[in-house]
Amino acid sequence: MNITYSIIAPIYNELESLPELYRRVTTVMDDNGESWELVLVDDGSTDGSTEKILELAKQDDHVRAVIFARNFGHQIAITAGWDYARGRAIVIIDADLQDPPEIIPELAKKWKEGYEVVYAVRAEREGEAWFKKLTAAFFYRLIYLITDVKIPLDTGDCRLMDRKVVDVLKQMPERHRFPRGMSAWVGFRQVGVPYKRAARYGGVTKYPFKKMLKLALNAITSFSYFPLQVATFFGFASAGLAILAIPVVIYLRVAGIPQFTGQATTLIAVLFLGGVQLISLGILGEYIGRLYDEAKGRPLYIVRDKPHD
């Protein structure tokens, strides 16, 4: 089997966009002329997307269906796409057509120039709520600041990767994954291509605030120890403050200057330190929970149906 392009689209209740996604990918890829496949990963949809995907796969040999046993999340669906894709270049796009399939030839052009990772940079975002844009912008910058891998700003999961890169990514079994961080971490020759991120074609976002927060936590904990170091910093800072306070208090006492009367000061100090300790414990817990998940070594996803193999 000799396939040049594998296009992966993770799908969670995208019945409205699916036919249009299929139509536009088919048009673009047929125009392009080289062999291709569309890997549709159904992430536990409940709106009939599953049946639609199976139907498309039956009608057209270009379409490969992977049906999950339940919802495992966007990142895991992308991972399954990597596992099932057979092409020499692997492209990830959103099923809601926010990443227009028409950019695939542009990404491919850079790939042909010799770049192994070609990521799409959101130069403009259309039709998204200001809250989403603001939190996304903040998130990208925070991650950039505190993680060790320099994940390009304003870049989502939409990208083209060479087979070599995907083979490396497939060897990274981590559970709480952040695919765009992973693909930055591996190195290789990388380049960005700006594009205009469109509005959703149909349906609503599958990323409520809770999922965004989870993704942000995955990104931070997978690529940085910074939160753990913050606890150390606070420890040294408050211990240092205490040591400095000792001679001051002795001096004030000896000099007979009335000092620190009342409970307020004590109370504030106790509450502050108690708070810092609990937060540090929580941060530790966050990392330990993840360690525990990794230690269990459960499969990343469960496939219910894959009509092609």
Report the nearest approach of ligand UDP to the CB of residue 251 (Å): 58
Report the nearest approach of Mg ion to the CB of residue 233 (Å): 37
Residue 116 binding partner per list Mg ion, ligand UDP, none, with a CB distance cut-off of 5 to 8 Å that depends on partner kind: none
**Positions 76 through 105 that interact with Mg ion (CB under 5 A):** 94, 96, 98
Residues forming contacts to ligand UDP in the complex (CB under 6 A) are: 10-12, 14, 43, 71, 73-74, 77, 94-96, 98, 205-207
Report the nearest approach of Mg ion to the CB of residue 97 (Å): 8
Q: Which is nearer to ligand UDP, 95 or 193 (CB)?
A: 95
What three-state secondary structure class fits 133? helix
Q: Which is nearer to ligand UDP, 94 or 162 (CB)?
A: 94
Q: Is 13 in the site for Mg ion (CB under 5 A)?
A: no
What three-state secondary structure class fits 271? helix
**Contact in structure between 62 and 27 (CB atoms under 8 Å):** no
Report the nearest approach of ligand UDP to the CB of residue 12 (Å): 3
- CA atoms of 76 and 80, how far apart (whole Å): 6
Residue 43 binding partner per list Mg ion, ligand UDP, none, with a CB distance cut-off of 5 to 8 Å that depends on partner kind: ligand UDP
What three-state secondary structure class fits 175? coil
Q: Which is nearer to ligand UDP, 69 or 281 (CB)?
A: 69
> Rounded to the nearest 5°, which phi and psi values hold at 150?
-90, 90
Indicate the Cα dihedral angle 163, 167, 172, 177, nearest 10°: 30
Report the nearest approach of ligand UDP to the CB of residue 189 (Å): 27
Residue 285: count other Cβ atoms within 10 Å of its Cβ: 10
- CA atoms of 139 and 253, how far apart (whole Å): 49
What three-state secondary structure class fits 65? strand
Residue with tokens 């890169």: 165
The binding site for Mg ion (CB under 5 A) comprises 94, 96, 98
